[in-house]
Chain A
Amino acid sequence: MIVAMTGPVPHRPPDAVARPAAGPRAEGRTVGASATADARRERGVALARAARGGDTIAMNDLLDHLIPYVSAICAPIALSSRQDAVQETLVVVFRKLRGLQEPAALYGWVRAIAAREAVRVARRDARDIPAEPADLPAPGDPQLAADIDDVLARLSPEHRAVLVLRDVEGLDEQEAAALLGVPEGTVKSRLHRARAGFRRMWTG
């Protein structure tokens, strides 16, 4: 998982494909990708409605639909505990699905549960911080992804959550604060410390 350090990117619905917006053809592709993402999002909402109505095959399909989305949020926060975080997120989602007032709010609701559960699981499974990293890998080095995970592992779960919500999910500070249940100022300070810590650790 790679966390961008250059500021938030737009939130992408499940399975959306990021495409550059350069020129008419690229713009066409972006519109197409957006339409595809919208269609997938509508499918998720429709599955949630059917699952709430008691159709367990719709529940099965909703699970297929949500696993990649939940994994993308939980993995960079919970790291090696990601399977536990994904499972526990989805257990909460499925237990509470019938209480979801508005199925159209499915994704925001799932995202909030995923971030909270990932932080909780990561804290529960907190382990010793490893030793200093080895020298920086060259670009394209297959070790690169593993080293990014290693650097992420040195941040606290709360700091990883802020990075994911701001820099990967593209939430603003107010939204991230509401989702994590902390003041906006706390998100700002955590984000500052997380980015600074990430840069410091990454550049040695």
Chain B
Amino acid sequence: MTYDETGPPGPQRPEAASEASATPDTGLDAVRRLHVMAAGIPGARVVEGVLDAEFADVWAVMSDLEGGFGEFQPDMRNVRVTARDGDRVTAHARSRYGMRARLDGVVRPGWCWLQSRFVIIGMAAEPLPDGAGTRVALTGGLRIPGRALIVPGAGRELRRSLDRLTRRMD
């Protein structure tokens, strides 16, 4: 696995295979979407890497909010999904420090965006052409309560998350 960390916008890349794109037939893959979202949130960083695993296997872990998600997101424990309506999700989570959070957002193939009053979590995954693996990207962190602002220092946590995800997929 290789990764790089950037502020938005993201690096230019060859177009990824689109069968699992977060926005099919509209011209912007999920990882690019994540860079756009980060561009609108001062302080947000994006870490990005390529995993040597099938998209379906990677996304099965990343989108399993009550299971795999908590295994690689260092501060998300005991996540419980309380409502689903289409791609809309509500979940309750408790951090390792005991803080509770109600997360609201969107989960669909290759794309997850969640927010609570204190946290923003963004995840994207795209299959690479010719089965060459899966590109993943993460953003988010602690936010200024209720505002689209990330507290400085989120990059290290994001890299830890990506490292954990990589190990989880090995």
Binding site for B on A (CB under 8 A): 51, 54-57, 59-60, 63-64, 67-68, 71, 74-75, 82-84, 86-88, 90-91, 94-95, 97
Contact = CB atoms under 8 A, between A and B. Distances in A.
B36 A57 contact: no
Interface of B: 8-10, 12, 15, 23, 26-29, 32-33, 35-37, 39-41, 104-106, 113, 115, 120, 146-149
A10 B94 CA distance: 53
17 contacts: A51-B148, A55-B115, A56-B120, A60-B105, A60-B113, A63-B36, A67-B28, A71-B28, A74-B27, A83-B29, A86-B32, A87-B9, A88-B9, A90-B28, A91-B36, A94-B36, A95-B39
Interface of B is mostly: loop
B27 A91 contact: no
A57 B113 contact: yes
A97 B40 contact: yes
Contacts of A82: 27
Contacts of A56: 37, 41, 113, 115, 120, 148
A59 B106 contact: no
B79 to A, nearest CB: 17
Interface of A is mostly: helix
B33 A63 contact: yes
Given A54-B147, A56-B113, A87-B32, A95 B40 contact: yes
A55 B40 CA distance: 11
Contacts, number: 74
Across the A-B interface, give the 7 residue pairs with the lowest CB-CB distance, nearest first: A94-B40, A71-B27, A54-B147, A91-B9, A91-B39, A90-B36, A87-B32
Contacts of B148: 51, 54-56, 59
Given A59-B40, A64-B23, A91-B39, A54 B32 contact: no
Contacts of A94: 36-37, 39-40
Nearest to A84: B12
Given A56-B113, A57-B105, A63 B37 contact: yes
A90 B8 CA distance: 11
A83 B33 CA distance: 11
Contacts of A97: 40
Nearest to B149: A54
Nearest to B23: A67
Contacts of B27: 67, 71, 74-75, 82-83, 86
Nearest to B115: A56
Contact of A68 (B26, B29, B113): B26
Nearest to B88: A57
